[in-house]
């Protein structure tokens, strides 16, 4: 065989495509499941983005064998199920903190969310199958459909924009700088497009397909070069006279709310907060619900916090909060509270994006059990992103737990903060991929917004990230201790993404769609 035959109709791609299209029944679905599982390795913590060059073309070739829309949807759905089952396996770990109460939910937790999320991949496959695209039109239209449904996944039914394809670039910080322009959805669109281009080698002219793939790779090489230049520029510096202490007690989730362990857990965090430091600390930060009681109603604990508060500074901690709603009914909030040296609460923030089933039960009429994270009680939502003034600190946008995963929704658009503060408790998920994914996603928000991020987690991963996504301080998963670090400065002006949000992604989506339709028309 001549060497150039591998890129012709009789070459390896065409033979592989025909072989995969010929699969039927359980073999086709098994192949889709394996390819979906393979695609999960592109995401944190593996960050093996090149596997998508196999996974997505394989999916497109499997769709060639689908004779009906139902078969096409099934192929896409099974691909998505393999992808999400492997990528989100860790969610079921949360139930083991009280398995006697929630044993019945274990299969729903392990497979239920992947079952639902896979619908988006199934719809992507169905749309592509309906369009009957081939050649270069196929990867173009596939990328549009995939990215559009990823965007919808981030908004529908309270939204769950976890493990978007662009997050695989967290391991390549220069390329990640591009999210400051068009956000994570834009990076996902381009990632899927370039990864799917090898599928065109099977049914179009090799030169056209090769040129398109080369152009796509050069595009990412351009991102890489631009990102290197951006990272090589002068540093942004740190905020004068501010030094933060991040306290990570690594308390087991099964002990966190145990009344017999409450005082011991608080004392452990007080001891870490009061430990000597090489340089004076100005502010101490604890994790989400680090104080497992109604702090505003407990003067003794507030006085203990005040005793370890640096002079003129604050202890910022997560704690539940009780208050009255508009109708005078008693409500509970997952909150951030700032305590000064006198033990007074000087600022508060209530979490506004609650976790379904974890912090409230959306199906309470049919599911007669309480929320998992609230020990049966349900939390109420706060008013939305705010820019919070804290004594001795630049204005901050506080975010509790997974509020940090929502692109374009982490700041008050009318009042830009100087930094992001994310308090979380990932102890629910043990030593799994979950905390690594959560930390990686949080880093992307810093780059998108051009704002430094401080993240404090009960059991890790805690750290400080500058406005370009570089980690300047870190406490690893499961480590017990603290880390002292200065607060990086923000980029002076909003990034293009911070200013325009997802509008540029929308323009990119329309542009790629137009290219795909033109390519489809030309055959």
d(CA 52, CA 29): 18
Question: Do residues 382 and 352 make contact, with C-beta atoms less than 8 angstroms apart?
Answer: yes
Tokens for 299?
């003067």
Residue that has been written with the tokens 């101490």 in this structure:
284
**Which distant-in-sequence residues (6+ apart) come within 8 Å of 345 by Cβ?**
295, 296, 302, 337, 338, 339
CA–CA separation, 32 vs 77, rounded Å?
9
Q: Which residues are catalytic?
A: 288, 351, 401
Give the pair of three-digit tokens for residue 351.
Answer: 């979490």
How far is it, in rounded angstroms, from Cα 419 to Cα 450? 9
Closest to 272 in 3D by CA, of 475, 486, 488, 487: 475
- According to the 3-state scheme, what is the secondary structure of 474-514? EECCCCCEEEEEEEECCCCCCCHHHHHCCHHHHHHHHHHHH
**Share of the chain residues as helix, strand and coil, in percent rounded to the nearest 5:** 50, 15, 35
Cα distance between residue 424 and residue 435, in whole Å:
10
Token output for 254: 């099964």
Closest CA to 289 of 257, 254, 246, 252: 257
Q: State the first-to-last Cα distance of the chain, in angstroms, to the nearest integer.
A: 28
Helix (H, G, I), strand (E, B) or coil at 382: coil
For residue 484, how many C-alpha atoms fall within 13 Å in the half-sphere facing its CB?
A: 15
Q: Please tell me the number of Cα atoms within 13 Å of 157 on its side-chain side.
A: 11
Q: Mapping DSSP to helix (H, G, I), strand (E, B) and coil, where does residue 140 land?
A: helix
**What value, to the nearest 5°, has the Cα angle with vertex 316 and ends 313 and 320?**
150
Query: CA neighbours within 13 Å on the CB side: how many for 455?
Result: 39
CB burial class (10 A; 0-12, 13-18, 19+) of residue 263? exposed
């Amino acid at each position: 065989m001549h060497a150039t035959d591998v890129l012709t109709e009789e070459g390896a791609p065409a033979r592989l495509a025909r072989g995969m299209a010929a699969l039927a029944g359980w073999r086709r679905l098994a192949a889709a499941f394996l390819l979906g599982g393979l695609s999960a390795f592109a995401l944190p913590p593996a960050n093996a983005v090149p596997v998508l060059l196999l996974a997505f073309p394989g999916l497109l070739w499997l769709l060639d064998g689908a004779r009906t829309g139902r078969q096409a949807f099934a192929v896409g759905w099974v691909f998505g199920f393999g992808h999400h089952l492997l990528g989100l396996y860790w969610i079921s770990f949360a139930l083991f903190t009280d398995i006697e109460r929630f044993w019945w939910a274990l299969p729903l937790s392990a497979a239920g969310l992947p079952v639902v999320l896979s619908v988006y991949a199934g719809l992507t496959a169905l749309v592509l199958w309906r369009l009957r695209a081939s050649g270069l039109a196929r990867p173009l239209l596939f990328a549009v459909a995939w990215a559009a449904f990823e965007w919808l996944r981030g908004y529908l039914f309270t939204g769950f924009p976890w493990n978007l394809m662009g997050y695989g670039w967290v391991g390549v910080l220069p390329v990640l700088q591009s999210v400051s322009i068009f956000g994570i959805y834009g990076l996902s669109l381009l990632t899927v497009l370039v990864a799917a281009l090898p599928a065109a080698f099977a049914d179009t002219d090799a030169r056209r397909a090769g040129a398109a793939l080369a152009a796509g790779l050069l595009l990412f090489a351009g991102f890489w070069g631009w990102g290197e230049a951006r990272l090589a520029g002068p540093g942004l510096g740190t905020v004068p006279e501010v030094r933060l202490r991040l306290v990570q007690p690594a308390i087991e989730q099964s002990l966190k709310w145990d009344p017999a362990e409450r005082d011991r857990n608080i004392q452990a965090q007080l001891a870490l907060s009061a430990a000597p430091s090489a340089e004076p600390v100005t502010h101490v930060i604890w994790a989400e619900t680090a104080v497992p009681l109604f702090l505003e109603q407990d003067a003794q604990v507030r006085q203990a916090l005040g005793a370890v508060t640096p002079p003129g500074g604050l202890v910022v901690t997560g704690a539940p909060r009780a208050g009255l709603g508009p109708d005078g009914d008693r409500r509970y909030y997952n909150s951030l509270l700032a305590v000064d040296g006198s033990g007074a609460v000087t600022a508060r923030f209530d979490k506004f994006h609650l976790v379904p089933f974890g912090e409230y039960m959306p199906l309470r009429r049919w599911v007669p059990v309480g929320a998992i994270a609230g020990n049966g009680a349900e939390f109420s939502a706060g008013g939305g992103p705010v820019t919070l003034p804290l004594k001795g600190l630049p204005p901050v946008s506080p975010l509790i737990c997974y509020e940090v995963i929502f692109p374009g929704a982490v700041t008050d658009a009318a009042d830009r903060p100087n930094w992001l503060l994310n308090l979380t408790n990932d102890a629910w998920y043990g030593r799994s991929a979950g905390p690594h994914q959560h930390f990686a996603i949080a880093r992307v928000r810093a780059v998108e917004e051009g704002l430094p991020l401080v993240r404090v987690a009960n059991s890790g991963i805690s750290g400080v990230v500058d406005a370009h996504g570089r980690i300047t301080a870190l406490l690893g998963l499961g480590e017990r201790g603290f880390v002292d670090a200065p607060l990086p400065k923000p980029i002076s002006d909003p990034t293009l993404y911070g200013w325009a949000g997802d509008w540029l992604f929308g323009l990119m989506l329309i542009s790629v769609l137009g290219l795909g339709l033109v390519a489809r028309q030309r055959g």
